[in-house]
Amino acid sequence: MIEMKHVEKSYRQVPVLRDVNFRIERGEYVFLKGDSGSGKSTLLKILYRDIEDYSGEVTLDGKPLRSLARYESRRIAGTIFQTFELLGRKTVYENVALAGEVIGRREDEIKQETLNLLHRVGLSGKQDRYPHELSGGEQQRVAIARALLNKPKVLLADEPTGNLDPANAEKILDLLKQLNEEEGITMFIVTHAEELSHKYQARTLYVREGRVEE
């Protein structure tokens, strides 16, 4: 589902990723760890097409990443972030539905799926609230619903629990695990939450000295 071969990335001649090689199969639930500044976000940014100037080969869903248009790869791989990235002037419902509107999906379909997803992530009844009227954990649930609206095969999560207290962090990781098991969505999660991630006995990759190790 995700593969990197000999991936290298430098910022102004300073190498961050030196020779990254790994493979994640469809349906896996994988954590990505590493020291601060080791290159975890950089690696994820390559996958969600925020960084295009790297060398090496990246494959997403069996296709070379470079052969896919950005919008195609972003439909295959949804994203969530530490900072949630919700639109403050839009309601919960609108934040999620917008993901369908921008790619021109039918309104009735968007409505049904948005409501289903909000229920799925535990936010039924909060659809008309604004992000600032929600807890951090709830905001991250909105972001998860938004990321899932267009049925991605992979969810790329950059520190999804970084702004949450331990109890809410655990609930978010539980939800991601549930979505992985029940919907078969491949999960690739950057996390520092050491004590929490042990609970899942998940495969863990480490970025060390510009390489990825098991």
Closest to ligand ATP by CB, 9 vs 120, is: 9
In angstroms, what is the minimal distance from the CB of 39 to ligand ATP? 4
In angstroms, what is the minimal distance from the CB of 213 to ligand ATP? 14
CB atoms within 10 A of CB 169: 22
Tell me how far apart the alpha carbons of residues 12 and 22 are, in angstroms, rounded to a whole number: 25
In angstroms, what is the minimal distance from the CB of 11 to ligand ATP? 3
| Encoded tokens for 112 | 């049904």
CB atoms within 10 A of CB 116: 14
In angstroms, what is the minimal distance from the CB of 142 to ligand ATP? 23
Q: What are phi and psi of 52, to 5 degrees?
A: -115, -20
Closest to ligand ATP by CB, 199 vs 208, is: 208
In angstroms, what is the minimal distance from the CB of 76 to ligand ATP? 22
Cα-based distances in Å from 8 to 21, 42, 55, 119: 10, 10, 5, 41
| Residue 161 makes contact with ligand ATP by CB under 6 A | no
Closest to ligand ATP by CB, 34 vs 131, is: 34
Tell me how far apart the alpha carbons of residues 168 and 161 are, in angstroms, rounded to a whole number: 8
Closest to ligand ATP by CB, 46 vs 86, is: 46
In angstroms, what is the minimal distance from the CB of 13 to ligand ATP? 10
CB atoms within 10 A of CB 30: 18
Tell me how far apart the alpha carbons of residues 47 and 18 are, in angstroms, rounded to a whole number: 16
Closest to ligand ATP by CB, 38 vs 79, is: 38
CA nearest neighbour of 16 among 41, 47, 50, 48: 41
Q: Which of residues 2-61 bind ligand ATP (CB under 6 A)?
A: 11, 16, 34, 36-42
Closest to ligand ATP by CB, 44 vs 185, is: 44
CA nearest neighbour of 103 among 136, 142, 137, 72: 72
* Residues near ligand ATP (CB under 6 A): 11, 16, 34, 36-42
